[in-house]
Amino acid sequence: MFRALVAVVALVVAPACADAQVRIKDITDVAGARNNQLFGFGLVVGLDGTGSRSTFTQDVAVQMLQRLNTTTQIFSQLPAESVIRSTSISAVMVTAEIGPFARKGSRLDVTVSCIDDARSLQGGTLILTPLRGVDGSVYGLAQGPLSVGGFSVTGQAAGIQKNHLNVGRVPEGAIVEKEAPGELVRDGTAKLLLRQPDANTARLIAKTINDRFPNTATALDPGAVSLCAPADPMKTPTQFVAEVGLLEVKPDVAARVVINERTGTVVAGENVSISPCAVAHGNLFIGVSNTPIASQPNAFAGGTTAVLPRTNVAGVEQQARLIPLPKATTVAEVARAMNALGVSPRDLIAIFQAMKQAGSLHAELVVDRN
Distances (CA, A) of 143 to 66, 109, 253: 19, 11, 44
At residue 35, what is the residue type? N
d(CA 186, CA 184): 7
DSSP of 82-97:
TEE--SSEEEEEEEEE
Kindly report, residue by residue over 267-314, the tens digit of the pLDDT: 887 788 777 777 766 654 445 555 667 777 776 666 677 776 666 656
Gap between the Cα atoms of 177 and 168, Å rounded: 23
Task: Tell me which of 3.90.1150, 3.30.1450, 1.10.3470, 3.40.720 is the CATH number of domain 22-33+183-249.
Answer: 3.90.1150
How high is the pLDDT of residue 67? 80
Nearest to 129 by CA among 146, 109, 143: 143
Identify the segments of the chain with pLDDT beneath 70: 1-19, 71-85, 151-162, 280-292, 299-303, 308-343, 345, 370
Closest CA to 40 of 104, 116, 136: 136
The ranges assigned to domains in the chain are 2-15+256-368, 22-33+183-249, 36-52+87-176
> In degrees, to the nearest 5, what angle opens at C-alpha 127 toward C-alphas 121 and 133?
100
